[in-house]
Amino acid sequence: MSQVRTYEEVIYGWFDHFHQNPEVSWKEIETTKKIAAILDELQVSYKLFSDVTGLVAEIGQGEEVIAVRADIDALWQEVDGVMRANHSCGHDANISMVLGALIQLKDLPLKKRIRFIFQPAEETGGGAIEMVKHGVIDDVSYLFGVHLRPIEELPLGKVTPAIHHGAALFLNGTIHGVDAHGARPHQGKNAIDTIFAIGQMLKNIYLNPFEVYSAKLTKVVADGGSTNIIPGNASFSLDVRAQKNSVLDELQKRIEEGFKSINLMYGTEIQWEWIDKTPGAEVSEEAAHIAKASIIEALGIEHLEKPISTTGSDDFHYYTVLRPKLKAAMIGIGADLTPGLHHPKMTFNKEALITGAKVLTTTLRNAAKG
């Protein structure tokens, strides 16, 4: 760090390293080591876990604990024709902004402790749950998160004190029918017919039109091995989303009822497994108020944006689901991010890293006041 001249260059340097060295969920081994090395250099104590990646650092004194979470994993996706780990969701930015706040806060006289949670496996789900199991928020009163937002939600320079993420649910399924010759379809049970029925069933789910929700097929594999063989077997995946947890529960119920009806109609057997569920945001008014006041203090009221709702999801909200007394809010940072989160060529204005670190510093300092 002594070779870097400015605070901004330190943060940009960290971001460049994490961006160039992405690791997927539960395999963030080198990422964890790098964060630990940075904390060693900053002379900040931390705790590693024996069974999972990630780590937790802490500064300050006192009984009450304020916490901030940075997710550290990358996606596995195709980039320029090659499947590889890729930080297209901005977790490399989240790490850098949280570390940037740590630099500014570590030598201040704090009346409360501030805990920095570097969490694995947000993308595949389970990371937040594992951190709760490891007790990292048992004594936490306020928890803050941070995330860059797409340009259609927030432009560069605008910051929101609260992101109201939607709830999401994912499913893998299989269809078991009977193969048949293309000339004798009556002798088989066509898995593709069942797939089309599932697609239509999803479109025929009607809930309250004032609610935000969607359910769609995201993967279908059906191959009889030849163009003249009707496939009896297939596999598929669903992506199901809603802005409210109660609406997502109703969607799940309707989909399972639909599968049972389709089984009877086509004589096939649909088997399914719900593989991951990410709850919708439960935002604390108190936490959002602290973040709002801190945005105004750090940047000026002209940079404040109202809380935003997004159909995206984040396992950050498992913390409040599993610990209902926890007061939490995720801060959204405008970054002129295009074309969008999870796009393999996602890019953004790196000035947002400095903005995010500044807002986090002020938010955590204010939350940790006596």
Binding residues for Mn(2+), by number, are 89, 91, 123, 147, 342
Q: Is 71 helix (H, G, I), strand (E, B) or coil?
A: strand
- Specify the pairing of strand 75-79 against strand 140-150: unpaired
Distance CA 68, CA 56 (A): 10
Task: Look at residue 304 and give its three-state secondary structure.
Answer: strand
- Phi-psi label, residue 32: left if phi above 0, alpha if psi -120 to 50, beta otherwise: alpha
Residues annotated within the binding site are 89, 91, 123, 147, 342
- Could you give the C-alpha distances from 149 to 5, 15, 92, 103, 292, in angstroms and in order? 29, 17, 14, 24, 17
Length of the chain: 370
- Torsion, Cα 254 258 259 260, to 10 degrees, reads 100
Spatial CB neighbours of 318, under 8 Å, sequence gap ≥ 6:
128, 129, 132, 278, 279
Enclosing H/E stretch for 283: none
Looking at the DSSP bridge assignments, the partners of residue 171 are 238, 274
